[in-house]
Amino acid sequence: MSHPLLSIIIVSYNTKELLKQCVNSIIKSLANSPINELKNIEIIIVDNHSTDRTREYLLIFKRSHLGKLKTIFNKENLGFAKANNQGIKVAEGKYILLLNSDTKIVPGALEKMISFAQKRKDAGIVAPKLLNKGGKTSQASCYKLPTIRGAINEYWFGKKGSYEKYLPRGGNPVKVEAAIGAAMLIPKAVVDVVGLLDEKYFMYFEDLDYCRRVNKSGFMVYYLPQARIIHYGGQSGKKKPNKVNHYLTESSKKFNGFLKYNLIFIIIKLSRLKKIPFLFLMMLTALLTVICLLLWLLVLKRN
């Protein structure tokens, strides 16, 4: 049997009902696909020790869809990056789609993403337009890679999209610095060059880190608004917000480094103090920069 054109990797953690919708939307989307090769795909689901009977659902589904589904059941929650890597390691497709379990494929999205990647040889990542639950409004899903200057522009000067997520304007494909990892199509040839996701990120920032590495390797991240996928967002961690905030903070520290993380944190906090004169803010930021730098040097010296 020939290798599939596409491997879809889904990491699940206590999102059984959403996972069902996601998988069904894939099957439905490809049932009448004009691309014959897309009828030979593989879906790889890596379950991070769910306790909501996800395992039982997958075993039943696998029996009725022989050859289309691969499953990996972890004995503990290994984190999002590591679980995705487990799927990538067994994937046989020419293209790999990292897909969140809380998504639904809009018919035509997969064909458009693959067609675009086939035409643009510099495409390291192709990210679709993400739609909100009703499928009518768009989500901000692109980033500029985080910088201190970007944080100042966003929070002090009100330049939207300098640091936070933004929605690219227009209806044409566009190069972006980074896109969120809810749905990312990556050619297998790019994975061979860039490598796997960095497993030091248990949850969050693994997508920004991968986009950064893709750019450094000479490939481009493209946002493709013609391809559309519905994204519910944040469903796995919905019941444990404190844990989610912990992972978000720790991953941000790892991504940005000690000094940059603390400076950005200070910039955001100071932006909320509306009555402080701008010049004073600049002087205070400069002073805190020196303090953070001294603390960073002290930590390095101790290590």
Q: Model confidence over 126-153: pLDDT tens digits?
A: 999 999 988 889 999 999 999 988 998 9
Distances (CA, A) of 132 to 103, 140, 176, 266, 273: 10, 10, 21, 32, 32
| Of residues 13, 46, 2, 45, the one with CA closest to residue 26 | 45
- Chain centroid to Cα 8, Å, comes to 14
User: Taking CA 111 as the corner, what is the angle to CA 4 and CA 85, rounded to the nearest 5 degrees?
Assistant: 50
pLDDT, one tens digit per residue, over 90-113 is: 999 999 999 999 999 999 999 999
CATH dotted code for 6-231: 3.90.550.10
- 284 close to 267: Cβ distance less than 8 angstroms: no
* Structural tokens at position 202: 């248990």
The whole-angstrom separation of Cα 63 and Cα 65 is 6
In this prediction the pTM is 0.89
Residue 126's identity, in one-letter code, is: V
pLDDT for res 296: 66
- Collect the ranges in the chain with pLDDT lower than 50: none
- Where in the chain are all domains bearing CATH 3.90.550.10? 6-231
| pLDDT value of position 136 | 85
Where do runs of H (alpha helix) occur along the chain?
Answer: 16-31, 54-64, 80-90, 109-119, 148-155, 188-194, 206-216, 241-256, 258-271, 278-302
What gap in Å lies between CA 252 and CA 261, rounded to an integer? 7
Q: In this predicted structure, what is the pLDDT of residue 135? A: 86
